Amino acid sequence: MIYIGTSGYSYRDWVGPVYPKGTKNDQMLPFYTRLFPFTELNFTYYRLPEEDMLRRMSSNTPGHFRFAVKAHSSMTHSRDCSTEDLTVFTDALMPLATDGKLAGILLQFPYSFHHTPENRLYLAQLRRRLGSEWPLMVEFRNVHWLEQDVFEFLKEHELGFVCVDQPRIKGLLPALAVATTSIGYVRFHGRNKEHWYKHEQSYQRYDYLYTEQELREWVPKLERLKAHTDTVYVSMNNHYQGKAVQNAKMLQQLLRLT
């Protein structure tokens, strides 16, 4: 099974290009579920989620829908998350897990998270602190993590490797299709090389529309991931003005998904 969706769905600049004019924030998720079966929740990176909020989100989506929840910044960037905060985070996810709608927790680490013994230990400890019942997917930004023994380490600790498509810039990960658990996970960030580091607004980094040929490069890779996993999640993060929606639909067509 391949689930294709976008990284987030609640963008005001999608009103017009994606959502009908006049769409209010609380109307976006029901409309989005008519387009895709999967989305990432990004707000959980900035603030700890609340159980009631995720329960309402679950009730507003069909039974087949899936959410991936981005880990709070204290888990991936400052790396000073307290046991209490971890408990608040995982307790909030229970409605999604109970309803069978939780794809997993997305751990997106910064480029500065280097491949060191200390950081490997941190990943192992975080897995232990969160508990074995939660699917965890790890996104590295630094290419030095791309080593075979890292893949073996991820398998040992049941940590999923996140494949990425992003600008071809020295130091960033290339477009590989690798799975280290029964879940395959791919994120498309766009190939806006010019504005990846040099931008005034954060959205400029993701202002990129993939061509059909660029997405077609991923078709055999996604088919391989599908053959070696139970489920594959694909998230388009080039969200500016709905470009992610255009590309998600394009990829669905290329893979002959409905």
What are the pLDDT digits (tens) for 198-209? 888 887 889 999
Predicted confidence at residue 258, as pLDDT, reads 61
Predicted confidence at residue 200, as pLDDT, reads 81
- Enter the pTM of the model: 0.96
Q: How far is CA 39 from CA 70, 74, 75, 220, 237, in A?
A: 11, 22, 21, 23, 10
Predicted confidence at residue 204, as pLDDT, reads 84
Q: How far is CA 213 from CA 183, 216, 233, 241, 254, in A?
A: 26, 5, 20, 21, 10
Q: What is the largest CA-CA distance in the chain?
A: 52
Predicted confidence at residue 203, as pLDDT, reads 78
Tokens of 23: 């769409």
Helix 83-98 × helix 117-130 angle, to 10°: 60
Predicted confidence at residue 199, as pLDDT, reads 82
Query: Which residue type does 39 have?
Result: T
> What domains can you pick out in the chain, each with its CATH number?
2-254 (3.20.20.410)
Strands (E), 123-181: 136-139, 159-165
List of the chain residues with pLDDT < 70: 258
Predicted confidence at residue 197, as pLDDT, reads 87
User: Cβ distance 208 to 180 under 8 Å?
Assistant: no
For residues 44 and 258, what is the distance between their CA atoms, to the nearest angstrom?
29
